[in-house]
A and B are shown apart, each in its own frame.
Chain A
Amino acid sequence: MTCAAVDRSVPPCAACLRRTWLVARLAGHIEIAWMRRRPLPALLALADDALVAALGGDERPRIEEEYARFDPQVAIAACAAHDVLALCRCDPRYPLRLHELPDPPAVLHVFGQRAGFERCAAQESVAIVGARRGSPYGLEQARGLGRGLAAAGLTVVSGMALGIDAAAHAGALEVDGATIAVLAGGPERPYPASKRRLHERIAATGAVLSELPPGTGARRWCFPARNRLIAALTRATVVVEAGERSGSLITASLATDLGRDVAAVPGLVTAPLAAGTNALIADGATLVRGAHDVLELLFGAAGVVARTPAPDAGLEPDLAALLNRVRGGQDTVAALVGEGCAVDATLAGLAQLELRGLLRRLAGGRYLPAAPE
C-alpha cells in the first residue's frame, strides 16, 4: 500500500515545499549556528530570505540561485518515490495542533499506511518520552503505559529512540493500538538503525512523521526540533525516566509552553534516572502510577476505563509477601533467600508469580514487577 499518489485535491503548495527544501539545504548551516548557541526557534521562525541572509555566508549567492530555480514537482516526485505523503501547512489534513507552534513545519512528511495515519489523527494522542538508557523498571513502565493508553483508544506518540521511546511504541503495538513515531531525519529511514523492525511495524499500522524530506540525514539540531513536534502534536507529555539533563525534560518544558499537560513517572529518590522525573513532579507535573493516572488527567474521573481488578487480589499470602518483597527492591533470588526463606520455596514462588504475569524474569535471574496488562 503506498501513499504515492498525492491527493490531487490538495497538493502541497510550492511555497511550503520550497521552505522545506530550504531548511534541509541549510541543515549544515543551521547546525553550526545552533552549536554557536543561536536559539533554534528564533532561527526557524525567520522567513525564507531572512534565513538565507542570516546563515548563507559565502554560499549565499549560490543558495539564492538554487532557491529561485526550485521546482516543486521534483520535491513531490521525491516524496512519491519513497512512499511519503507530503502535507503542507495549507492542507486540511495537517494536524491542527501543530499550528499552535510559533514555527510549525512547512511540510509534514508522513511515511506509512494512509489508513494508519488517519486512524491516529482521529484520536486523542499522548506523548511518552524518556531516557535512552532506560532501566528495566523504566522500560517496563513505558511498555505498560503504551499498552494501557493504546488500549484505551489513545494514540501513543514518541521518537522511536532507544530505551523508553521504543518501549512505549512496542507496548502500543502489543495491543494493536495506534502509535506515531516522529523522527529527526527523513521519515522513511529508521533511526536508530537497530530499530528497523519497529519502524516497519509502526509504518504498517500507524505512521512515521518528519519535518524533513525523505533522504535527509538527521543533524543534532534536528532532535530538539523534533521534540517540539512531539510536544505540539499531543494533548499531554508523559516522561517516564529522565536523568537531570535529559532531552526529554526539554520536551516536557516545550509542552508546558504550549499549554499541554505534563506528567511523570516517579522513581527512587536515589536513582539517577529518576532525578529528572521526580523534579518534574515536584514542580507540579502529574504523578503517573499507571495508564489510569494519565486517563484521569486527560478526561477526569469519568474518562477512566473501568479498571480490571488488581491482578494480585486473591493471591496466597506467601506469594503476596514474596511479590511485595520484589516490589520493595529485593529483586534477585540472592536477596530474597535468607532469614528462613528456603531457596526451593523462593524459586517456586517466583515461578508461580511469573506464570501469573505478576513478575517478569530478566536475564541473569533478576525479577521485575510487571506493569498491568
Chain B
Amino acid sequence: MLARVVTFAIDGIDSRPVVVEVDIRPGLPAFLIVGLADAAVREARERVRGAINNSGFDFPARRITANLAPAHLPKIGPGFDAALAVGVLVASGQCAADGLERTAVFGDLSLTGALRPCRGLLAVAEGARRAGMDRLIVAREGAAEAAVVDGVEIAAVEDLKAMVDVLGGAPAPPPAPQMGGLRPAADVLDLSDVRGHELPLRALEIAAAGGHNLLFEGPPGSGKTMLATRLPGLLPPLSRAEALEVTRIHSVAGVEHRGGLVTERPFRAPHHTISAPGLVGGGRVPTPGEASLAHNGVLFLDELSEFPRASLEALRQPIEDGRVTVVRGQRALSFPTRFTLVAATNPCPCGFAGSERQCGCSEAEIARYRRRLSSPLLDRLDLLVNVARPSAAELQASARESSAAVRDRVLAARERQLRRLDGTAARCNAQMDARLLRSRIEVAADARRALGRAYDAGGLSVRGHDRVLRVARTIADLAERDAVVLADVLQALALRLPDGGAEALAA
C-alpha cells in the first residue's frame, strides 16, 4: 500500500511542503530513501526503525521505499523522521490513513520514539497554513512557537505513539502557551538607568525616530556599547508581521528565543572577527547571518575599524536594499536585512585622543587608523556622536525619563512620517530618496540658506547635504513641526559626519 504524508523542509527562512511517499513491497528487507536526501536524512533510517520498534509497533521486514517529493528540491535533514515513520506505519497498516489529507507532521525522532523539535517550527507552521493543511502535529517542546500562527491547528505530542493516536482520532492536545523573548525577562534595558550622556541619548532618540544609522566615537569605557543596547527599547513596538519575521528568522537560525513569539526588537553585536558569510548569511546550508538576525532591530558593530574590509563591503548591498541574496548551485535564496546600524569607534589607536587622558599616538598612527574606517559604510551613517565619560556630577544626578516616554515621542514622529510618505516606498525619513526630499519636505527660507552656506563652504558633499536634510526633517518631526526650520538644520549640521569619508575624519 502507498502512503502519502505531508511534511516540510526549511528553505532559507521559509518552508516548502515535502510529500513523503512510502511504498512497501514483498522482497528482501531494505529501507531506501530517495529524493535528493542528504546524509542526515539518510541516517533517519536507523532512527525511524528504532523509534517504530520501541513504540510498540513492528518494523516491516520487507522492501520499503520512501520518496521525498518534489525530487528537485534538496532535502536537508533533520525533520523528516516523523513523516517517514508515519509513512511506514500507514503503509504497513499500523496507523490510520484518513486525516492525512489535511494533517501534516514534522519533527525528529529519537530511538525511544520520542518526538523532538527542530529549527524553523514557525516557518513550518506558516508553510502548513499556506499548503491548506488544517492541522500540524509537532513535538510538545517548542510547539508554542508553531502555535503563534493563525489558521492552522497545532497538536503537540510527546512521541510517535501519541502521534499515531492523534491520527487515529484521539483528541489533539494543544501546546502550552509561552512568552517568547530574546533576553532574560528580568533584564530590561531602560533609559532611566543611564546617567549623563545627554548628547548621545538625544542622538539615539533622533536615530530611533527617523530610522537613521549612527556612529559613536569615544574612548574605551565611555559607554558606547551601553548606549547602543538601549536603542531597541526606543523603537516602536514590533507589529505582528514584524514579530513573526523576527521569530521565524531566529527559529531557522537556531537562536534561543524561549519558544513563542518574540516581541522585542533584536540587538545583535557580532565580534569583529566574524566572517562575511557570518555577517550577511550563507554557508553550505544557507543560514541567515547577523544582518538578518538583526532584521527589524539593531546591528551594532563595535570597533568598526577592526572589521575586515571584505566583511563590511559585504554589508553594503544588504543595507542599501534591505535584503541579501545568497546563491547556492542554481538556487537563489533571499534573506531580509532591514535594521538600524549603530557603529562605534575609538578616536585613535590608543583610544584616548581628545579625552582627559593623554593620547600617545602620533599623527601618522592616527591618520592610518582613521583610514581603516571603511568608506562604503560611512556613507550609510547619518549621525556622528562624541561619547565621553560622564562627569562625577552627572553620575550622581537624579534619574531621567524612561525609555517608554521617549518611545512615545518616537512613535508619534514615526506616525507623522508614515502619513507624509503615504503612497511611497519609504517608511521613514532615512529611506527618503532625493526626489522625495525635494517634493515632500517644506523647508523654511533661513534654514535653506544656512544649509546652502554649509554646502558652499565646502564642508558638505551632495550626499551630505541630503543627509543633513533628512536628519533635520526627523528633528522637526520630534518637535511636531510641519516645516523644517533653521534650528533643525543647525542641529543636524552639528550631528553630521564630516564629509569625504575617512580622510575627513582624520581632521
Contacts and interface: CB of A to CB of B under 8 A. Distances in A.
Nearest to B498: A363
Interface stretch (B129-137, B255-263, B313-321, B485-493): B485-493
Contacts of A366: 354, 386
Contacts of B217: 363-365
A348 B347 contact: no
Given A136-B507, A350-B494, A351-B494, A343 B198 contact: yes
Nearest to A357: B457
A207 to B, nearest CB: 25
A128 B491 CA distance: 37
Nearest to B454: A355
Interface string A342-369: 0111011111101100000111111000
B443 interface: no
Contact of A348 (B363, B367, B487, B498): B487
Interface in A154-189: 162-163
A355 B354 contact: no
A338 B198 contact: yes
A208 B228 CA distance: 50
Contacts of B390: 334
Interface in B439-454: 450, 453-454
Interface in B203-219: 217-218
B507 to A, nearest CB: 4
Interface in B371-391: 384-388, 390
B42 to A, nearest CB: 58
B487 A338 contact: no
A194 B365 CA distance: 12
B80 to A, nearest CB: 55
Nearest to B506: A363
B240 interface: no
A344 B362 CA distance: 34
A122 to B, nearest CB: 32
A207 B198 CA distance: 50
A337 B450 contact: no
Contacts of A345: 487
From DSSP, what is the main secondary structure of chain A's interface residues?
helix
B363 A163 contact: yes
B453 A355 contact: yes
B507 A363 contact: yes
Given A162-B363, A334-B198, A343-B198, A362 B490 contact: no
A15 B57 CA distance: 113
Contacts of B494: 333, 347-348, 350-351, 354, 361, 365
A332 interface: yes
Interface residues of B, number: 41
B102 interface: no
B233 to A, nearest CB: 20
A171 to B, nearest CB: 15
A355 B363 contact: no
A19 interface: no
B386 A364 contact: yes
Contact of A343 (B199, B487, B493): B199
A271 to B, nearest CB: 10
Interface in B340-388: 347, 353-354, 358, 362-364, 367, 370, 384-388
Contacts of A332: 354, 386, 388
Given A343-B199, A362-B354, A334 B388 contact: yes
A364 B390 CA distance: 16
A349 B491 CA distance: 8
B202 interface: yes
Contacts of B386: 332-334, 364-366
B399 interface: no
A133 interface: yes
Q: How large is the interface on A (under 10, 10 to 19, 20 to 34, 35 or more residues)?
A: 20 to 34
A133 B353 CA distance: 12
Interface string B467-507: 00000000100000000001101110111001000000111
A337 B475 CA distance: 18
Contacts of B493: 351, 354-355
A132 interface: yes
A304 B401 CA distance: 56
A155 B172 CA distance: 94
Contacts of A338: 198, 393-394
Contacts of A362: 354, 507
Given A136-B507, A334-B388, A347 B364 contact: no
Interface in A315-355: 332-335, 337-338, 343-345, 347-352, 354-355
B199 A334 contact: yes
Nearest to A272: B358
Contacts of A133: 362-363
Q: Which of B218, B364, B386 has its CB near the most chain A CB atoms (within 10 A)?
A: B386
Interface in A82-120: none
Contacts of B358: 272
Contacts of B354: 332, 362, 364, 366
A194 B364 contact: yes
Nearest to A356: B453
A194 B198 CA distance: 39
Nearest to B200: A334
A329 to B, nearest CB: 12
A240 to B, nearest CB: 15
A181 B494 CA distance: 37
B348 to A, nearest CB: 9
A56 to B, nearest CB: 38
B491 A351 contact: yes
Given A338-B394, A348-B491, A351-B494, A364 B363 contact: no
A343 B491 CA distance: 9
Contacts of B347: 363-364
Interface string A10-48: 000000000000000000000000000000000000000
Most chain B CB atoms below 10 A, which of A133, A136, A364 = A364
Contacts of B491: 344, 347-348, 351
Contact of B198 (A337, A354, A363, A364): A337
B490 A351 contact: yes
B391 to A, nearest CB: 8
Interface string A136-147: 100000000000
A344 B479 CA distance: 11
Contact of B218 (A163, A349, A364): A364
Contact of B199 (A162, A337, A348, A354): A337
Given A347-B199, A347-B494, 19 more contacts: A132-B363, A136-B507, A333-B199, A333-B494, A334-B198, A334-B388, A338-B394, A343-B198, A343-B202, A347-B490, A348-B494, A351-B490, A351-B491, A355-B493, A363-B217, A364-B217, A364-B386, A365-B494, A366-B354
5 contacts: A332-B388, A334-B386, A355-B454, A363-B370, A364-B386
Interface of B: 196-199, 202, 217-218, 347, 353-354, 358, 362-364, 367, 370, 384-388, 390, 393-394, 450, 453-454, 457, 475, 486-487, 489-491, 493-495, 498, 505-507
Interface of A: 132-133, 136, 162-163, 192, 194, 272, 332-335, 337-338, 343-345, 347-352, 354-355, 361-366
